[in-house]
Chains A and B, each alone.
Chain A
Amino acid sequence: MAYTDKIKEIYQNQLKGIQDAGLFKQERYIHSSQDAEIEVEFPAGSAPKRVINVCANNYLGLSSHPDVIKAAHEGLDTRGYGMSSVRFICGTQDIHRELEKKVSEFLGTEDTILFPSCMDANAGVFEAILTSEDVMISDRLVHASIIDGMRLCAAQHDTFKHSDMAHLEKKLQLHADKRLKVVINDGVYSMDGDTAKLDEMVALCEKYDAILFVDESHSSGFIGKTGRGTHEKCGVVGKIDIITTTFGKALGGASGGCVSGRKEIVEMCRQKARPYLFSNTIAPVVVSGVLEVLNILSKSTERRDKLEANTKFWREGLTKAGFVLKDGDTPIVPVMLFNAKLAQDVSRDLFDLGIYAIGFFFPVVPQGAARIRTQISAGHEIHHLEKALDAFIKVGKKYDILGKTKQEIIEKYGS
């Protein structure tokens, strides 16, 4: 047997290392559909418990929306289950192209190409459009999938301090000699919930002839007056050269992603992006669901408006109770606890009280910046949020952190 004891041991030791470092990730099985309330089996083997979910990316509450489910059923009936082919052989249906056009309309871009996921979009786009004569200048906190995409690309790479426009400008000057410069960032940062300064970035990119890339995975569908994204909020619709986004969060939450933007760049992806060329695209049933999501969002801003109201209620409630939050106005609301063990303890106690919220700590966030990341949804009703708030306050009192500053919490629990 080739899989020898020695090989096995190598992996067992690595896994033990992960466990010893307290970084072993465990799945929790959900016995219901994704919604404001879910049934969670935790710990494994225990009877499922009904809890309020405040950690899903289901920002618009569309993951189990009856109209989306109905549209998906219809897609299944009329276009079948699978394609058994990549796009350019025999894996493209009329509805794939229809979705690409609808996404372009929704985002205000020239054209769009679908990818199996946004991870794949980010993994494929840079290699498809850049060479070793070019440079990628990225914000230091961009998502892991962008980092992987940049690793796969021969272009040079540099970074700027998170959202630091003066530093970005210095880097644009430093790399003035390159053929192409691409400035790369997230629209909304998923760990802190802060928003990129896209208006300033557009101005800098215009001044230095750079291409602007934005990952809108945590913005598409709800940021901006009509939910088009961070570019709408910042007043720069039509000025972003490359947008990538996912259908796996607010836009129905199933799966799939895209690159949307300048016509030539999208066409380059169609010719050269490897995850597009060598992997099946989004299944017809999901395409049909996303089409209905865009239809719902184009007709009315009701859901993003409700999300905005819910977010305001939640942020104000937590602030008034005396928690330390990260500043911002997005539905990603990090409750800062600073200490990793405290974050885990608070998460467990919340679960006991019927609230599902997860602790994040190093290496997912910087050392000493542990937190409970809460995410609000249009699927939440005020009574859900009131109950969640009550639970947070109870737990906050138990650990005596309400009204305490960052320094006081760190003094008490360490960082």
Chain B
Amino acid sequence: MENMKEVILEYVIEEYCDEENDDVTFETPLISGGIVDSFSMVSLKRFLENKYKISIPDADASPENFDTVTKIEVLVKRFQ
């Protein structure tokens, strides 16, 4: 099975980064670090829901839960 963290990280880099800021790791703060703004989070949520066939309630799609790839993995596993 694919490593979930790797998959999420790859999507984050592809979707949110350019040459200037592509040194993102599992622990890089995405939202509080200004890489992903709260609006752009929507596409990440949609990606996770489609990819892992889950539904993340809006209340759980908080900036805190989405702040690092590691936290996102925890969130996804909670709804699998």
Contacts and interface: CB of A to CB of B under 8 A. Distances in A.
Contacts of B37: 140, 159
A159 B43 contact: yes
Interface stretch (A95-103, A150-158, A242-250, A297-305): A150-158
Most A CB contacts (10 A, CB to CB) among B20, B34, B40 go to B40
Nearest to A157: B39
Nearest to A147: B39
B42 A366 contact: no
B33 to A, nearest CB: 9
Sorting the interface of chain B by its residue count into under 10, 10 to 19, 20 to 34 or 35 or more gives: under 10
Contacts of A140: 37, 40
Interface string A154-196: 0011110100000000010010000000000000000000000
Interface string B16-41: 00101000000000000010010110
B53 interface: no
B11 to A, nearest CB: 12
Nearest to A150: B39
A159 B39 contact: yes
A354 B18 CA distance: 39
A150 B18 CA distance: 25
B43 A171 contact: yes
Contacts of A156: 42
A159 B15 CA distance: 10
B46 interface: yes
B34 A366 contact: yes
Contacts of A157: 39, 42
A367 B39 CA distance: 20
Contacts of A117: none
A41 B21 CA distance: 40
A159 B46 contact: no
Contacts of B18: 161
A171 B46 CA distance: 12
Interface centre among B34, B39, B40, B42 (most CB of A within 10 A): B39
Contacts of A161: 18
Contacts of A159: 37, 39-40, 43
A138 B39 contact: yes
Nearest to B47: A174
A233 B22 CA distance: 34
A158 B43 contact: yes
Nearest to A135: B42
B57 to A, nearest CB: 16
Interface in A340-373: 363, 366-367
18 contacts: A140-B37, A140-B40, A150-B39, A156-B42, A157-B39, A157-B42, A158-B39, A158-B40, A158-B43, A159-B37, A159-B39, A161-B18, A171-B43, A174-B43, A174-B46, A363-B34, A366-B34, A367-B34
Interface of A: 138, 140, 147, 150, 156-159, 161, 171, 174, 363, 366-367
Given A150-B39, A157-B42, A367-B34, 12 more contacts: A140-B37, A140-B40, A147-B39, A156-B42, A158-B43, A158-B46, A159-B37, A159-B39, A159-B43, A171-B43, A363-B34, A366-B34
